[in-house]
Amino acid sequence: MTVGILAAPGPTTELARKLARNLTARLGERFPGHCWRVELETEMQAGPVGSGEDMVRMTRKRLLHEAWQLAICLTDLPVHVGRRPVTAHVSVSLRVGVVSVPALGPVEVDKRLEETVLRIVEGALYEQVPRHDAHSADTDGHLGMRQWLEKLTSPVGRPDEPEQGTFRLVTAATRGNIRLLAGMVRANQPWKLVSGLSRALVAALGTAAAALTSPGIWRIADGMGAGRLTLLTVGSLLAIGLTLILVHGLWENTPDGSRRREIREQVMLFNLATMITVTIGILTLYLAQFLIVLLVGLALITPGVLENELKHPVGPVDYMLLSWLAASMAVVGGALGAALENEDVVRAAAYGYHPDEPTEAGHHENREQA
């Protein structure tokens, strides 16, 4: 039995590599008597660039082309039934499955993905693979599938059979959408956002250095209260956040003329994930800038020099106020640098994938076997 796995580029492909290393052994344990082989390919159409694709149809085409017995697509895109997120959709007749990786949530993704894929194989090959349980004696295959679904419990969703030969794993609307949103943010890897924006980072560091070495900034920080510094911090964070989102087109708009609620809700979900991703990213930048400025200030500016400029005894609070102001100014400088960034660079940093990566025939970029 050959199982083909198609994975969206970026973090999902890394998850798929870990999955493939263990999947052959796990399948052998779950279905003894069969020799299993796993092939992994990175599929561009499973990522955001393929948001208009029918994943089931695309996966079926690849199954036929590669002569696999079963194909599973791991996509970065959210899938819904009404308001309920879908973790996995499986067509038994077509022998294909689609897993929405963000619906697995932000934690224990490796474990949940492996469990989901095993459920897909078990369901998709229900009538073909010998099973050592009471259902193996059922004469009505459809009845056996229904009984199996009724007893199926999974941490990744509740089983549902919308029509004969098809089943899916769905989650509750509120809890499932929260987990889906968290999974989308995790896939974007917001903590790496700033490291991918070289111009913004250089501008921020340069502004911080200039602020830290300016006696005028020392006096301004000494005269500002916590309230003014808080307003300045919020304003600086909004400046760089809005610059990244609006200037570089990270905000998605509903297609013209579209009245479908599902499309509007999906666009809203993407925008919410983008806002959270950017917020976490710039907060990471701000905290890093604050710590760097504080440490450098303590190392370079002696208490005597600072007291001579401020005309009063100084302590840790004075250094923290100076670092607070310098870090806020640095973020403003980072906003100016972010405005000069290339749009493709910003989107790659914000979404954790690289849409301009070279691919073989525009279809997939590599193949691995386990």
What domains appear along the chain, each with residue ranges and CATH number?
Answer: 2-179 (3.40.390), 190-351 (no CATH)
For residue 10, CA distances in Å to 3, 55, 176, 266, 355 come to 21, 18, 23, 21, 10
Q: What is the pLDDT of residue 140?
A: 45
Across-strand partners of 4?
39, 71
**Residue listed under structure tokens 């005309």:** 311
Q: What is the pLDDT of residue 363?
A: 43
Burial grade of 338 (CB within 10 A; 0-12, 13-18, 19 or more): buried
Task: Say how far apart CA 93 and CA 78 lie, in whole Å.
Answer: 23
Per-residue pLDDT of the chain (370 residues; tens, 9 = 90+): 899 999 988 888 989 999 998 898 888 888 887 889 999 998 888 876 555 568 888 999 999 999 999 999 999 888 877 778 888 888 888 889 999 998 888 888 888 898 888 888 877 776 555 444 434 444 444 445 555 555 555 566 776 766 667 777 788 778 888 888 888 888 877 877 777 776 777 888 888 888 888 888 889 988 888 888 999 899 888 888 888 888 777 887 776 555 567 677 777 888 888 889 888 888 888 888 899 889 988 888 889 898 888 888 988 898 999 999 998 888 888 877 777 666 666 766 666 544 434 333 334 445 555 5
Task: Say how far apart CA 212 and CA 306 lie, in whole Å.
Answer: 12
Query: Using N-to-C axis directions, what is the helix angle for 173-188 and 261-300, rounded to 10°?
Result: 50
Among 28, 34, 26, 32, CA closest to 1: 34
Q: What is the pTM of this model?
A: 0.72
